[in-house]
Each structure stands twice: as C-alpha cells, then as structure tokens.
A = this chain, B = another copy of it.
Amino acid sequence: MSDRAYVIFEEQQRARGIDLDQVKAKLKAFKIETPSWGYGDSGTRFKVFKKQGVPRNPFEKFDDAAQVHRLTGICPSVAIHIPWDKVEDYGKLKSHAENLGLAIGAVNPNLFQEQEYMLGSVTNADPLIRRKATDHLLECVDIAKETGSRDLSLWFADGTNYPGQGDIRQRKAWMLEALAEMYKAMMPQMRMLIEYKFFEPAFYHTDLADWGMAYNYAVKLGPQAQVLVDTGHHAQGTNVEHIVAYLIDEHKLGGFHFNSRKYADDDLIVGSMNPYELFLIFYQILSAANDSDLSIGQTVNQIAYMIDQSHNIEAKIPAMIRSVMNVQTQYAKALLVNHSEVAEAQQRNDVLEAENAVRQAFEFDVTPLLHAVREEMGVPADPMKAYLNSGYPKSILSRGIGGASW
C-alpha cells in the first residue's frame, strides 16, 4: 500500500508544481543535532523521576544518540554540555563518537549550577565570580577546538528576582565584556550562538530576555556571533516565525533549540503542542532560502537545528526519535509550499488565497514521502517501531537506575 500511496502522493504534488526530487534531496540533506542531556534524567523543581537504563556517562550518551542516528539517518551530531559532559580526554570522546558514526556538535557552557552563580555569573556584582564565569567560557572555546565543534551555544540563567536587586545597565555592560573576551578567543570558523529566554530561573528580570537583546550583542560582537532561537523561550502569543524571518533577514539567525511549550519553558517534545507553528517556522526559513539575495540563502544554509528538551516522564530514546520525526515531518510539509503561488496571491492582496496556499501544504500527509526517503537512505520506514523491536531497549536496562541527570 505504501508504494501505491507514494505514487498517488507523487502525482498530486507534481500536479501542484512541486519538484519531488528536490524535496527528497533536501530531506536527505536535513540534519538535526540531538543533545547529550536529552538522554539523561531530568525533571521539574518538584521532582526528578529516575528511569532505569539512563546513560551513566558521556560515552553512554553517545551510544544512545548513535541509535537515534542509525534509525533516522539525520542525527549525525550530538551537542555537549560542560561540565555535564566533562571528560579528561576529549580526543577519546571524539573517537568514541566517530566510531559510532557521530560527530561532537555544539559546546554548551554551564554557568548556573555552582554556588557562586546564585546571583549571576558573567553579570555578578563580584568581579571574581565574573572572572570565573568568563574563564569557563574560554575553557569551552578550548574544548570546541579539541572536539572540532563549530558552534558554541550560550545560554545564561543570569537575572534578578526582585526590583533593585541588580543594576540592570551595569549587568548589561558586564555581559558584553565577557562575550567580547570569548569572541576574541574563538577560531575564525567558530560561531557564538547567543540564546535568550523570557524568564526562569530569574523571575523579575533576565539579563538576556528576548531576541532583541541577543541580536544587539551579536551585532556589537561581529559576524561570528548570531542568535539562537529556543522555541520555548518566548512570552505567550509571541509570533516566533516572525522573529525567525527577521533574524534571517539580518543574517543573524544561527540556530534553533527545538522543543514544545504550552505555558512557560515546558521543554516538551517538539511538535507535540502546536505542530502548525513548527511548520510555519520552516515555511519562513524555506521562503528565505529562495531569496534572490544569495547571502540570505547562505545564512539559511548555516542554521543549526538542535533539539533541547527535558524528557521528564518519557522513555528517553523513544522521546528523541519522536522529536526528530516530528521536526522532519513539519520540514517535509513546508517543502510542499508552492512559494510562487503564495507570492502571487500576496501581490494581488488576496488574503484567503495566500493563507490557503500556505496551510494547504500543512494538510498533506507526508508519511508516504518520508517512507520513500527513508527507504532511499537505507533506514527503517518506521524508526520508532524499529527501535522498540530492536534489542537496544532491553540491553540498556543493565545500566540500572540513577544515571546522569541535570
């Protein structure tokens, strides 16, 4: 049935003027980075529930990530978090990854889990703490050199809980100082991806609270600094795809941390709460990819697609497979938008037709397409089923309870 379903799908799309060969090529070239910490235990402030079989060290996290790549074919790199993934010999970790067919992806500094950082890291009123924090940023640049990572993903928990607690403008200046020192230490091929967040763990003011603040730092620092959009880090109602389009237009969109949210930074499986929003993000990206200004297309090509989630109650590896498939599904749907049809409707101010031309692509069932692409890539048509039927889930139970968590 699957083959016949694909034949019908193909006819349908060709009739709409969609070049399916190109669509398939793009789907094969599309890569999603999974995070090492997504394989460990995580939770809320109320409780971290412990699962049996969770990896006990960075090497086992890569083992699990390799399963996701083996079954989906599109997850060849893994982001690491320092010090959660601190090892004595990064060369050894790199070799381990390469033996599994993986690369080490973005390096993520951690500036929120040491006692000193309670009131800020690079924005702390205490210069010794700022120094320590900046040194950790520099350490991460060094690690990135060892691991061969292109991207340094920076998220700061810095902020205040009360009016008056900190000097907002002074903290702004201190953060720039730290970023500038780090920027200078980077290799020419490296990128600094600056993440922002509306709130949490700071509850009055967050030093890097929105895209505008991250963008402004990136502009001041230079072309190697760009913005990282975490899909869960916005105020309710925020039009995330607008921000995406805006940042691309300024050549400052560096990448994504994908996840879903209904309320705050819920860190649920991407695509599970509002799949249409994910589709619309890709619609903006793909719309920009075709820009006559080639530098826009170049920006698009460099976007890092990364998962960043907390699997508090789900089985970790299946949750990651589901996440990757959800992203792939919405990307595939967005590839079915007929951009010239949209553009024509926009030009004649036909609101309903323009809206329809975009939404229509979302309504297609891309399962036959994805099955076909996976077959051509030599991975299982249904990666989730393949995983559950493999021996891997059982094999990791021997790790016991109490693996890595954040």
Residues on A close to B: CB < 8 A? 1, 4-5, 8, 11-12, 15, 42-47, 49-50, 112-113, 115, 117-119, 124-126, 157, 161-169, 172-173, 198-201, 203-206, 209-213, 215-216, 234-239, 241-242, 245-246, 248-250, 261-264, 266, 268-269, 272-277, 280, 283-284, 287-288, 291, 310, 312-315, 318-319, 322, 329, 342-343, 345-349, 351-352, 354-359, 362-365, 367, 384
Q: Is there contact, CB below 8 Å, between B199 and A264?
A: yes
Residues from chain B with a CB closer than 8 A to the CB of A365 are 363-365
| Complex Cα gap A307–B364 (Å) | 25
Given the known A-B contacts A164-B358, A168-B245, A249-B169, are A314 and B125 also in contact in the complex, defined by CB atoms under 8 Å? no
Given the known A-B contacts A199-B262, A236-B237, A273-B204, are A346 and B166 also in contact in the complex, defined by CB atoms under 8 Å? yes
Q: Is there contact, CB below 8 Å, between B212 and A119?
A: no
Task: Known A-B contacts: A165-B355, A203-B261. Give 12 more (CB < 8 A).
Answer: A46-B113, A47-B113, A49-B115, A125-B347, A164-B346, A164-B355, A169-B246, A198-B237, A199-B262, A209-B242, A235-B236, A236-B237
Q: Is there contact, CB below 8 Å, between B237 and A351?
A: no
Residues from chain B with a CB closer than 8 A to the CB of A12 are 1, 5
A-B contact pairs, 30 of them (CB 8 A): A1-B8, A4-B4, A5-B12, A43-B201, A44-B200, A45-B310, A49-B115, A125-B346, A162-B269, A162-B355, A164-B283, A164-B342, A164-B345, A165-B346, A166-B346, A168-B246, A169-B246, A173-B249, A198-B263, A200-B263, A204-B239, A212-B212, A235-B237, A236-B236, A237-B263, A274-B277, A275-B276, A314-B351, A322-B356, A329-B363
Residues from chain B with a CB closer than 8 A to the CB of A329 are 363
Q: Is there contact, CB below 8 Å, between A169 and B126?
A: no
Q: Is there contact, CB below 8 Å, between A274 and B272?
A: no
Given the known A-B contacts A119-B349, A168-B242, A212-B211, are A161 and B268 also in contact in the complex, defined by CB atoms under 8 Å? yes
Q: Which 8 A-B pairs have the closest CB atoms?
A: A212-B212, A164-B358, A235-B235, A236-B236, A203-B266, A44-B201, A365-B365, A162-B355
| Complex Cα gap A297–B315 (Å) | 35
Q: Is there contact, CB below 8 Å, between B205 and A239?
A: yes
User: Oligomeric state, in number of copies?
Assistant: 4
Q: Is there contact, CB below 8 Å, between B364 and A272?
A: no
Residues from chain B with a CB closer than 8 A to the CB of A261 are 203
| Complex Cα gap A363–B367 (Å) | 9
| Complex Cα gap A237–B200 (Å) | 12
Rounded to whole Å, the gap between the CB of A114 and the closest CB of chain B is 8
Q: Is there contact, CB below 8 Å, between A314 and B352?
A: yes
Residues from chain B with a CB closer than 8 A to the CB of A275 are 276, 362
Closest chain B residue to A288, Cβ basis = B169
Q: Is there contact, CB below 8 Å, between A47 and B201?
A: yes
B46, B210, B319: the one contacting A201 at CB < 8 Å is B46
Closest chain B residue to A120, Cβ basis = B349
| Complex Cα gap A322–B363 (Å) | 14
Residues from chain B with a CB closer than 8 A to the CB of A355 are 162-165, 269, 272
Residues from chain B with a CB closer than 8 A to the CB of A314 are 161, 351-352
| Complex Cα gap A45–B266 (Å) | 11
Given the known A-B contacts A237-B198, A239-B205, A239-B262, are A125 and B359 also in contact in the complex, defined by CB atoms under 8 Å? no
Closest chain B residue to A280, Cβ basis = B163
Rounded to whole Å, the gap between the CB of A278 and the closest CB of chain B is 10
Residues from chain B with a CB closer than 8 A to the CB of A126 are 349
Most chain B beta-carbon neighbours within 10 Å: one of A5, A124, A242, A275 = A242
B166, B209, B234, B359: the one contacting A163 at CB < 8 Å is B359
B124, B203, B211, B363: the one contacting A263 at CB < 8 Å is B203
